[in-house]
Chain A
Amino acid sequence: MSEIIRTDVVIVGAGPVGLFAVFELGLYDLKCHLIDILDRPGGQCAELYPEKPIYDIPAWPEISGQALVDRLMEQIKPFSPQFHLNRMVTKLERQADGSFRVETDEGEIFETKVVVIAAGGGSFQPKRPPVPGIEAYEGTSVFYSVRRMEAFRDQDVMIVGGGDSALDWALNLQPIAKSLTLVHRRAEFRAAPDSVKKMFELVDSGGIRFELGQVTGLKGENGQIAAVKIKDSDGEKELPATRMLPFFGLTMKLGPVADWGLNLHENLIAVDTEKFETSEPGIFAIGDINWYPGKLKLILSGFHEAALMTQAAKRIVSPGERVVFQYTTSSTSLQKKLGVQ
């Protein structure tokens, strides 16, 4: 078991709102650890629309999703937030002394005075392809990610998809699999050109079999697939496979947040509009994940919520200390923290 990480604030979710919370909390000297299931910060902006322009960020007439994330990362740099990526927050419990214990699926344990849930639309999870009956094979012979490569050794592996995950795993598993088939609905790929080139070289040398088509069904029993039905322009055919890895992008699911004993309003966390605190004192919820009368799922609303939440979080972390409101323009002490003095 890893060492316990002690901190002022744990932020669940590193989307735009979680990131801006680091800034507001940082102005009040609160140290933050952020945890996100994605492999990089930015939430929906980075994962769903990095290249699309956003037009309603105050003072940015037009900014792309990724550029917004890059700017936020630059803005919070002075506060040295600690990122724990590729991890899902699974458990959140109050301890006897009133502080919180937060656990991830990678076994990390955090002890923190305040928890800020900035989980957006929930955690990003692999999308289940709409293949009838696929549930029966999940976790036994159909997987959405590779946790252990050994599970694929000497197997007839079928990878479905045309993005980077599909191509990367096709290349990585090809040497150890008994056979490797890549299925994609067209000959164009959304992956790095270098991987596509390598893949086609392996197809030419017989190391990878490439099938143009779409998966329509599975055959097998007791959770073990035996063959996959593929539809192509000539009709339907069956290809043998003992392991399948479909990569159909990511979708957001509420996930463990629902199990933390917080009052919910239609799958969103109910908060007040003074502190954006949940039904559990010391646990705050900001951004797309929260609900209050009049709530709008806008980035700018999440930023406002982060600023107000910070006032209450500071009072919990530093009880008895006077919370002084200051402007970054004129306060020398704030400017010192920002490293501009």
Chain B
Amino acid sequence: MTKITFVSFDGTTRTEVDAENGSTVMENAIRNAIPGIDAECGGACACATCHVYVDEEWTQEVGEPEPMEEDMLDFAYDVRPTSRLSCQIKVRDEMDGLVVHIPERQS
């Protein structure tokens, strides 16, 4: 099991969850009812409502978005260099301890 921590926008709530390898970060957010992840399209990279900021410490490991995800990020709010769509991040062993931050709002 790989541990992922979701941090609320104001930084006050940190929720650590156990994630299965191969699942997506979005799926783990939904399964654990993390507030602020809507995922309206169910993970098809078609809605940009699963937007997260990957913690600076982890951007290298998680990597860059694919072109399709980059296009979809145009529809998200307050996109930053660390922005990713969480449905496009697949959990791997190397991500144990991953920290992602929830944005102020989803579009």
Chain A interface (Cβ < 8 Å from any Cβ of B): 48-49, 52, 127, 129-130, 161-163, 184-186, 188, 190, 214, 216, 231, 248-249
Contact = CB atoms under 8 A, between A and B. Distances in A.
B1 interface: no
Interface string B68-107: 0011011101110000000000000000000000000111
| A49, A161, A249 interface centre (most CB from chain B within 10 Å) | A249
B75 A248 contact: yes
A214 B44 contact: no
13 contacts: A49-B46, A52-B44, A129-B107, A130-B77, A130-B106, A130-B107, A163-B74, A184-B74, A185-B74, A186-B74, A190-B71, A216-B78, A248-B74
- Shortest Cβ-Cβ A-B pairs, 10 listed: A130-B77, A48-B46, A249-B75, A190-B71, A130-B105, A130-B107, A248-B75, A162-B74, A49-B46, A185-B79
B46 A248 contact: no
Main secondary structure of the interface of A (DSSP, over half): loop
Contact of B107 (A49, A127, A185, A186): A127
Contacts of A186: 70, 74
Contacts of A163: 74
| B74, B106, B107 interface centre (most CB from chain A within 10 Å) | B74
Contacts of B44: 48-49, 52
Contacts of B107: 127, 129-130, 248
Contacts of A190: 71, 74
A48 B41 CA distance: 9
Nearest to A163: B74
Interface string B47-75: 00000000000000000000000110111
A161 B46 contact: no
A199 B70 CA distance: 21
Contacts of B106: 130
A161 B74 contact: yes
A199 to B, nearest CB: 16
B14 to A, nearest CB: 24
Contacts of B74: 161-163, 184-186, 190, 248
| B41, B46, B75, B79 interface centre (most CB from chain A within 10 Å) | B75
